[in-house]
Amino acid sequence: MSGGYVMYLDDMEMPVTPGKLELKIKGKNKTITLVNDGEVNFLKHPGLTEITVTLLFPMLEEYGDIRYSRPDVYLSNFERIMTERRPARFIMSRAAPNGFPLFDTNIKVSIESYTIDEDATNGLDVYVTLMLKQYVDFGAKTVKVTPETGTATVEQPRPEGNPPNAKTHKVAAGDTLWALAKKYYGDGSLYMKIFEANRDKISNPNLIYTGQELTIPELSASAAAPSAAPINAPLAVLDEGTGTWKYDQVTMDS
């Protein structure tokens, strides 16, 4: 991506960057009045983030010099997410004019509603307004009672995306996804497996940060075969101590 914005919902890139993005974060603080002491404000955790965005879907498959799918492909994906009653990954990626990554909005959301607007003044193009709300994973807790000692402990539910056989790795200065794939799988070209397992933490597979706790998923038999990887793929890690990017130029044998 050169300079500008790119929006994704799940693994689908939206054809045209929205002209406006509204994020609403509601406070849940509560104010009460005490006798003779006036008002006091009890601070609570903020509510779920709400996102409103209007998207343009060109009816023709070409928009400028870029080809995209027809509007019904995107609309079918929105409907499938809602009917399957599952969350989706919302990503708004930002980059400076020179292509240097800035910051991303990357959260798990539910599609609350979407409105389709077809107007003759817009020609054949379709506008869709999406109402999204932040989704937080949750699960039941198990209480284990030990009669001998008369104690009870609460067992936290296992995070949905972290299977028991997955490893974790804390990113250090100089680490890259390629190097981690080489270390854990013996094949650096499998670095996208690590990226896919950490989409909630990483928006660009070429950029990771020191101190990040990454999940290293178990490699399935079908994925163990070597896969194609880009030649001279630049991978970078941000050293938060110095605030500088360190690049590791990976060159594959041809």
- pLDDT value for 202: 85
pLDDT of the residue at 19 = 80
The helix (run of H) or strand (run of E) holding residue 73 is helix 71-83
pLDDT of residue 132: 92
Domains and CATH numbers, the chain: 4-134 (2.40.30.200), 157-250 (3.10.350.10)
What are the per-10-residue average pLDDT scores of the chain (254 residues)?
Answer: 74 82 81 75 82 86 63 88 89 80 83 88 85 81 72 61 68 86 86 86 82 84 45 47 50 35
Give the per-residue pLDDT at 244: 55
Could you tell me the pTM of the whole model? 0.52
User: In this predicted structure, what is the pLDDT of residue 157?
Assistant: 55
DSSP label at 188?
Answer: G
Q: What is the pLDDT of residue 129?
A: 92
Residue 239: the pLDDT is 56
Q: Tell me which DSSP letter residue 191 carries.
A: H
**155 phi, psi to nearest 5 deg:** -95, 120
